[in-house]
Amino acid sequence: MLGKGVVGGGGGTKAPKPSFVSYVRPEEIHTNEKEVTEKEVTLHLLPGEQLLCEASTVLKYVQEDSCQRGIYGKLVCTDFKIAFLGDDDSALDNDETQFKNKVIGENDITLHCVDQIYGVFDEKKKTLFGQLKKYPEKLIIHCKDLRVFHFCLRYTKEEEVKRIVSGIIHHTQAPKLLKRLFLFSYAAAAQNHAATDPRNHTVMFDTLKDWCWELERTKGSVKYKAVSVNEGYKVCERLPAYFVVPTPLPEEDLSRFQGHGIPLWCWSCHNGCALLKMSALPKKEQDDGLSQMQKSFLDGIYKTIHRPPYEIVKTEDLSSNFLSLQDIQTAYSKFKQLFLIDNSTEFWDTDIKWFSLLESSSWLDIIRRCLKKAIEITECLEAQNVNVLLLEENASDLCCLVSSLVQVMMDPHCRTRIGFQSLVQKEWIMGGHSFLDRCNHLRQSDKEEVPVFLLFLDCVWQLVHQHPPAFDFTETYLTVLSDSLYIPIFSTFFFNSPHQKDNVGRESQDTQSKPLNLLTVWDWSVQFEPKAQMLLKNPLYVEKPKLDKGQRKGMRFKHQRQLSLPLTQSKSSPKRGFFREETDHLIKNLLGKRISKLINSSDELHDNFREFYDSWHSKPTDYHGLLLPHIEGPEIKVWAQRYLRWIPEAQILGGGRAATVSKLLEMMEEVERLQEKIDARPHGQGALLAEAPLLLRGSARLSALFPFALLQRHPSKPVLPTSGWKALGDEEDLAKREDEFVDLGDV
């Protein structure tokens, strides 16, 4: 058994607490060590990556406490990742490896992805940090992507335990300097390896031309202008080199107060209204003269944007009338604990109070409040025909979140993959969101770590989940994008501002013969093969129909609901129940229960908002117009694919949205084949569906958390809680039935 890299304990009575059981003596392990080493997986190093420390004879536990199996291998730590090298990768067949990440393996953890490290001493779990006087017999690593790794060090040599544990603690928790990030080592070593995807047309907004193009696209160039006054960051290091302001605004005003108090353009609506943002002027309570000067300056700014041809401006102060960063941080800290499950016993022990814990975290309620705020601003722009000015201390956190959500709801271009990526570049990267601090990449301050961008992705997922045909990308795209926050070979999410990135680039050019070629996360070919990238594209996306000249004359397109028939079946009323499908009962019960407060109280919603919201939802959906989410309590759900993908007990074999999409693709292919026969057209639109990955064929092989569930072992326990299901038989009977189902699905 050991020669295969697996150590396990057989039957016996079930222990009350998880504990490793091995019938292989330590001396037997060392006797067979040579045989096992020959089968170990080779450590693959990226350009510039260096091995720091390693430990042999490490057992990686499988998350099952029924038999406590472990996989034998080596644990290593590099300046990029923690990796476990075993020979268990052969268990994955060719189909399952189609979605394999080329940069991060199944048993790899980037140093930036490590959240907490725990040690087990005499069956007691303790947090590990700093210098240790005693070293644990078991190491537990909680990751920011919610994976949980268990490593047994009981049979590892004492010196190797000290090196690997101390090395992991130091390189994941000690404060770092920006220049010491692996990002720069990789960029320097991979000059000849860096490639740009020719199909990637994401607008980076790092040139004046990009901003002018966006103004033309949204028809905002009449009232707004792109300026280059901040070239070289002479005005403000917090702002991008180029940005857009109201046309009448004098350029000398832009240089006052270091860019504070300047209304920056975000997006223009079809009716001429615009979404603006502004960073608040610093408060100087003791200096009355400066306060008066600031007041006069703001008065002049407001007069400029209030005069014709500008519409009335409504100011939305996000710093005082909305969420706080502390609210977001506290809610997510509670929320993520629900998914950091150590073993199967813990999963079932907490299952009975899962909904109450979920509600007490307030994470879903925060999502609802963000979507509600975006709808309120959309109503001002669309129905009231007023400009909206978002105000925040630095306009780089909640302003990025709300302005991006508004554009996703109102602009169908932002619901395409290229448009969405361009939106992130414009509002988050060039908008100066402090990714370095908010993700705590340098480990310098836990207080600054707030998952604002993850909150945005979760809000977008709610829209994708409720209106799938309206989006060119899938939830898998959003999931891997959230994972990319912690992969330090891409520069996209590892700087606080464009100035910081450009400054590092200039310094590197002074010390090296060639400038650093920093990769962007939008080149998905770096992480995934072409077949895997197909899972990022939504095959059910409804493209905007192309009309001939005669049709165009008789139609008037607006960014609003049309009274025409829907492109797919109309949505069911939320009053009918919590769910619109009749499949995946466990996931429905797990994720769709009412756990948030309903928002139908008249004192919470303004009359204008309620009328706008209800009117939109009473009509069929135009997937290329305005798009609003349902925000009633039961409609805000848990993003299952991201948060539950690593928990075997949450898998539903042969079920979930992936199985539904698989069946729909089969039907669409059949319809297109028939259409091609009718039209005598051997090569038609079916070519697009033919590119859909084979992973989506055969729903019996899919899981509710596809495609990540394919990388995980299926649980040996039943997917239904055994208490209350005694009529179905005992655990062994249910497990046998599940095994029979899996066997049938594999045939």
Domains in the chain and their CATH numbers? 51-174 (2.30.29.30), 208-535 (no CATH)
> Which of 22-36, 68-82, 304-318, 706-720 reaches the highest mean pLDDT?
68-82
Lowest-confidence pick of 206-220, 375-389, 469-483, 684-698: 684-698
pLDDT above 60 for 700: no
Q: What is the tens place of the pLDDT at every residue in 515-563?
A: 788 999 999 999 999 989 999 999 889 888 765 555 544 444 443 333 2
pLDDT above 80 for 680: no
Helix orientation angle between 452-466 and 398-410, rounded to the nearest 10 degrees:
20
Tokens of 597: 């407060």
Q: Which residue has the higher pLDDT, 603 or 389?
A: 389
**pLDDT of res. 202:** 95
Q: How confident is the model at residue 701 (pLDDT cuts 50, 70, 90)?
A: low
Average pLDDT of the residues in 350-364: 94
Q: Which residue has the tokens 């569906």?
A: 689
Average pLDDT of the residues in 436-459: 96
Q: How confident is the model at residue 314 (pLDDT cuts 50, 70, 90)?
A: very high
> Which of 82-91, 156-165, 197-206, 259-268 reaches the highest mean pLDDT?
156-165
**pLDDT of res. 259:** 80
Q: How confident is the model at residue 573 (pLDDT cuts 50, 70, 90)?
A: very low
**pLDDT of res. 744:** 34
**pLDDT of res. 65:** 55
The string of DSSP letters for 347-371 reads HHHHHTTHHHHHHHH-HHHHHHHHH
**pLDDT of res. 89:** 52
Percent of the chain with pLDDT over 70: 72
pLDDT above 60 for 324: yes
CB distance 402 to 261 below 8 Å: no
Lowest-confidence pick of 309-323, 352-366, 541-555, 666-680: 541-555
**pLDDT of res. 739:** 44
Q: What is the tens place of the pLDDT at every residue in 151-201?
A: 999 999 999 999 999 999 999 999 999 999 999 999 989 875 544 554 468
pLDDT above 90 for 67: no
C-alpha 474/C-alpha 478 separation (Å) is 7
- Listed in order, strand segments (DSSP E) in 318-439 are 387-392
Rounded to a whole number of angstroms, the CA Rg of the chain reads 27
CB distance 406 to 377 below 8 Å: yes
Q: Which residue has the higher pLDDT, 212 or 301?
A: 212
**pLDDT of res. 253:** 81
Percent of the chain with pLDDT over 90: 54
Q: How confident is the model at residue 624 (pLDDT cuts 50, 70, 90)?
A: very high
- For the chain, what is the mean pLDDT? 80
Lowest-confidence pick of 78-92, 233-247, 322-336, 726-740: 726-740
pLDDT above 90 for 34: no
C-alpha 427/C-alpha 140 separation (Å) is 37
Average pLDDT of the residues in 18-30: 46
- Listed in order, strand segments (DSSP E) in 464-568 are none
CB distance 140 to 191 below 8 Å: no
C-alpha 189/C-alpha 50 separation (Å) is 12
C-alpha 419/C-alpha 205 separation (Å) is 12
β-bridge mates for residue 738, sequence order = none
Lowest-confidence pick of 174-178, 269-273, 401-405, 671-675: 671-675
The 3-state DSSP class for residue 71 equals strand
pLDDT above 90 for 577: no
C-alpha 66/C-alpha 19 separation (Å) is 10
Q: Which residue has the higher pLDDT, 2 or 59?
A: 59
β-bridge mates for residue 537, sequence order = 473
**pLDDT of res. 558:** 42
Q: Which residue has the higher pLDDT, 3 or 215?
A: 215
CB distance 119 to 138 below 8 Å: yes
Buried b (16+ CB within 10 A) or exposed e, 414-440: bbbbbbbbbbbbbbbbbbbbbbbbbbb
Distance of CA 649 to the CA centre of its chain: 22
Helices within 218-324 (DSSP H only): 251-254, 288-306
